[in-house]
């Protein structure tokens, strides 16, 4: 996979892409990530990339010329058409379904804006997918581009040391086979369940104990407990994730029964 990030602050993005899992994925050749300064494409003698809005108003607007030439220039290198993504608070809210869709692409070109926004013809002329990372305003799209790249790259097979850890984590723990990206009936939030509680040593910390069931080595019971906890937590914290998911409602009911069974057998053991 190749990801090009167009920004006015490549020096902000680059170190993030060099650390930890992303850095490792790059080094092992799973992904090529290149950060580019949009100014490099400006035809203006002063490398201008923004200008005042027609009709007046505050702030500056990202100009067409550098952005068009940057996107088209990069796209003409290599294997051709890329998925173009504009990071903007007006975009579709990012979720795990979209992340999975992007992770399946060969090539992404991300454009992070600054200032008051993009000249509208960047939208109409380049037809990018527009993505927001949430309902709050950032001063630029760089942080959003970093979020998106992180979420995408960790899904590339081999990017995580332990392949298992993608399976159980929040938004991926699922009873059914994952649905096709964008398939009809998909809930708008993307994935389904929050992660179950995790513990590590020591067994007792300041009087707080690790649940007994995790220490017993009965992997069937541990699975059932984790599933029930994940469902309970999702129902408590993010009922919206399950409300849209009929399968989730049914599996919650089932897990409550399993959980009751687990607690009963536990009680039997203890007494």
Which residues make up the interface to ligand 6GU (CB under 6 A)? 87-89, 132-134, 136-138, 140-141, 144
* Shortest Å, Cβ 141 to ligand 6GU: 4
The DSSP line for 177-222 is PPPPTT-TT--TT----PPPP---S-SEETTEEPPGGGGS--HHHH
Q: How far is the CB of 148 from ligand 6GU (least distance, A)?
A: 8
Dihedral sign, CA of 97, 100, 105, 109?
Answer: positive
Nearer to ligand 6GU, 87 or 231 (CB): 87
The set of residues, in sequence order, having a beta carbon less than 8 Å from that of 114 and lying 6+ positions away, is: 8, 9, 50, 62, 139, 140, 141
Residue 149 burial (CB < 10 Å; 0-12/13-18/19+)?
A: buried
Residues 6+ apart with CB under 8 A from 125: 64, 68
**CA separation (Å) from 56 to 51, 121, 248?**
11, 18, 51
Our CB check for ligand 6GU shows the closer of 137 and 183 to be: 137
By beta-carbon proximity to ligand 6GU, the closer residue of 50 and 245 is: 50
Residue 93 CA to residue 104 CA, distance in Å, equals 19
- Name the minimum Å distance from CB 62 to ligand 6GU: 11
User: Which residue number, 88 or 242, has a Cβ lying nearer to ligand 6GU?
Assistant: 88
Closer to ligand 6GU by CB, 88 or 234: give it. 88
Let me know: does 140 contact 8? Beta carbons within 8 Å.
yes
Q: In the complex, what is the shortest distance from the CB of residue 60 to ligand 6GU, in angstroms, rounded to a whole number?
A: 14
Nearer to ligand 6GU, 133 or 151 (CB): 133
Task: Name the minimum Å distance from CB 140 to ligand 6GU.
Answer: 6
Smallest distance from the beta carbon of 207 to ligand 6GU, in angstroms?
Answer: 41
Count other Cβ atoms within 10 Å, centred on residue 145: 28
Contacts of 262 (CB under 8 A, 6+ apart): 213, 221, 224, 225, 228
Q: Give the tokens for residue 191.
A: 């994935």
In the complex with ligand 6GU, the residue whose CB is nearer, 7 or 132, is: 132
Distance of closest approach, residue 128 Cβ to ligand 6GU, in angstroms: 12
């Amino acid at each position: 996979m190749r990801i090009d990030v167009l920004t006015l602050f490549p020096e902000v993005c680059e170190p993030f892409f060099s650390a930890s899992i992303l850095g490792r994925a790059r080094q092992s050749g799973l992904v090529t990530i290149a950060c580019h300064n949009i100014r490099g494409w400006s035809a203006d003698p002063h490398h201008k990339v923004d200008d005042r809005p027609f009709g007046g108003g505050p702030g500056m607007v990202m100009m067409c010329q550098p952005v068009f030439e940057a996107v088209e220039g990069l796209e003409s290198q290599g294997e051709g058409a890329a998925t173009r993504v504009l990071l903007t608070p007006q975009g579709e809210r990012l979720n795990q379904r979209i992340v999975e869709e992007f992770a399946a692409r060969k090539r992404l070109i991300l454009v992070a804006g600054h200032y008051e926004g993009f000249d509208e013809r960047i939208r109409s002329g380049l037809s990018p997918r527009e993505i927001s990372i949430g309902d709050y305003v950032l001063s630029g799209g760089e942080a959003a581009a970093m979020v998106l790249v992180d979420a995408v790259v960790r899904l590339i097979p081999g990017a995580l040391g332990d392949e298992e850890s993608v399976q159980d984590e929040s938004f991926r723990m699922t009873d059914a086979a994952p649905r096709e990206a964008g398939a009809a009936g998909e809930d708008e939030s993307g994935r389904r369940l929050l992660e179950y509680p995790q513990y590590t040593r020591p067994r007792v910390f300041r009087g707080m104990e690790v649940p007994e069931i995790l220490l017993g080595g009965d992997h069937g019971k541990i699975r059932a407990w984790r599933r029930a906890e994940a469902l309970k937590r999702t129902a408590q914290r993010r009922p919206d994730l399950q409300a849209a998911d009929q399968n989730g409602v049914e599996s919650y009911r089932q897990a409550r029964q399993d959980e009751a069974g687990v607690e009963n057998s536990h009680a039997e053991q203890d007494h």
